[in-house]
Amino acid sequence: MPTVDVHTHIYPPTFVELLRSRTTVPYVRTFPDTPNSSRLVILPGEDDPSTPSTSRGRPIGPEYYDIAQKIAFMDMHKIDKSVISLANPWLDFLPAEEAGEAAQRINDDVDGLCAKYPGRLYAFGTLPLSAPAETVIKEIERLAGLKHMRGVIMGTSGLGNGLDDPALDPIYAALEKHSQLIFLHPHYGLPASVYGPRANEYGHVLPLALGFPLETTIAVTRMLLSGVWDRFTSLNVLLAHSGGTLPFLAGRIESCVKHDGHLKKKGNIQGRRDVWEILKTNIYLDAVIYSDVGLKAAINASGADRLMFGTDHPFFPPLEEKAKEWHSVNANYGAISSAFKDDQSQAQDVLGNNAIRILKLHD
Ligand code: 5CU
């Protein structure tokens, strides 16, 4: 029975070099109190010079860029196959003229890493979203021909105006045409003001625990409201972190749509595909939620046949120096076994069979 990790990141060495060459977020740097260890600073708002280095970025070691460490991590946690993806903020920050070439280089690097471990590694590619749409579409077409690619990872900013931007339609059309799934992943969180003036006292908890999931929920709701899935009925999206809060809030979203006089007047309600239909037809969810409470909401919303195990490696490592197994990974394993205690066959589907079927990972 295979176990497959669909949410696991890598920053290929060339990408880390790029980050080391930069002096503003996103970048890799040392701090005066940690001169011998580099830190990866990527999130908006996590580089406030008045705060200690422990709240600025996270330590970056070889687990972020060395593919042999990914395999060792997989072996330790009994993971047979992984679908690796570049981590946030992807190429969103690159000038338009650099993005196309960078995407090709990184996608080729990642495809090459997968080729080193046949049958064990697959990948989601990266799009040059700051480049003109033709460049993005060319890369989608090129990715469709790369052996290990199974879709693309994307943030919520799209071409700069979010995922409800009509300018994305040709890109959605190309993804749909080539049956490439979008792995939708947060990065930008919420505006810093909502975390309050004491936010930096709380490390990364507010942006990661709440900013990320709400960002995903808002992005998907904007896609729904703008009719993306009414125009692209076969566009499939895998949502990180079990859909943010979408499974929990879907009923409220649907009710707000149905009771909105403005939408009714515009004629936007009749004939549209509702949230529940899209959750069960176009949306897949990872099982990176760390508790059976959230996992059960995901199962109820999309179905156990649309849920796939993930780890978020190399993020959330154990903080104890001597720890071997990762608590974060075991929490996700535990949530699956608790949610499906009466149905081991469904547990196995979520652990691996669904990913093999949905992402076509047959050796
Ligand atoms: O710890 C973090 O900042 C992150 C991140 O940036 N991206 C991610 O996927 N997980 C955790």
Assess contact for 45 and 55: CB atoms under 8 A: no
208 lines ligand 1 (CB under 6 A): yes
CATH of the domain at 209: 3.20.20.140
103 lines ligand 1 (CB under 6 A): no
How many Å lie between the centroid of ligand 1 and the Cα of residue 133? 27
288 lines ligand 1 (CB under 6 A): no
42 lines ligand 1 (CB under 6 A): yes
Reported as a single tens digit per residue, the pLDDT across 256-301 is 999 999 999 988 777 899 999 999 999 999 999 999 999 999 999 9
Mean per-residue pLDDT of the chain: 96
Residue 349 located in a structural domain: yes
Residue 18 located in a structural domain: no
Closest to 235 in 3D by CA, of 158, 123, 151 = 151
Separation between Cα atoms, residue 295 and residue 288, nearest integer Å: 8
Residue 45 located in a structural domain: no
43 lines ligand 1 (CB under 6 A): yes
Counted residue by residue, the chain has a size of: 363
Ligand 1 pocket test, candidate residues 25, 312, 313, most atoms within 8 A of CB:
312
How many Å lie between the centroid of ligand 1 and the Cα of residue 132? 27
Ligand 1 nearest atom to the CA of residue 46, by list position: 3
Give 360's pLDDT tier (boundaries 50, 70, 90). very high
pTM of the predicted structure, to 2 decimals: 0.97
In this prediction, residues 328-332 reach a mean pLDDT of: 98
Question: Picking from 30-44, 158-172, 223-237, which range would have the lowest pLDDT averaged per residue?
Answer: 30-44
Residue 267 located in a structural domain: yes
| Residue range of the domain that includes 318 | 4-11+66-359
User: What is the pLDDT at residue 323?
Assistant: 85
How many Å lie between the centroid of ligand 1 and the Cα of residue 204? 9
Asked whether the predicted pLDDT for residue 248 surpasses 80, the reply is yes
In this prediction, residues 246-253 reach a mean pLDDT of: 98
215 lines ligand 1 (CB under 6 A): no
Separation between Cα atoms, residue 307 and residue 286, nearest integer Å: 5
Residue 143 located in a structural domain: yes
How many Å lie between the centroid of ligand 1 and the Cα of residue 43? 8
% helix / strand / coil in the chain, to the nearest 5? 50, 15, 35
Structural domain count, the chain = 1
Q: Is 148 helix (H, G, I), strand (E, B) or coil?
A: coil
Ligand 1 pocket test, candidate residues 84, 208, 241, 326, most atoms within 8 A of CB:
208
Residue 263 located in a structural domain: yes
User: What is the pLDDT at residue 255?
Assistant: 97
Residue 47 located in a structural domain: no
How many Å lie between the centroid of ligand 1 and the Cα of residue 177? 31
Find the radius of gyration of the CA atoms of the chain.
20
User: What is the pLDDT at residue 170?
Assistant: 98
Atom 7 of ligand 1, nearest CA residue: 88
**What are the angstrom distances between the C-alpha of 260 and each of 35, 253, 263, 264?**
56, 11, 5, 6
Residue 27 located in a structural domain: no
Separation between Cα atoms, residue 16 and residue 24, nearest integer Å: 14
Reported as a single tens digit per residue, the pLDDT across 208-245 is 999 999 999 999 999 999 999 999 999 999 999 999 99
Ligand 1 pocket test, candidate residues 88, 242, 313, 316, most atoms within 8 A of CB:
88
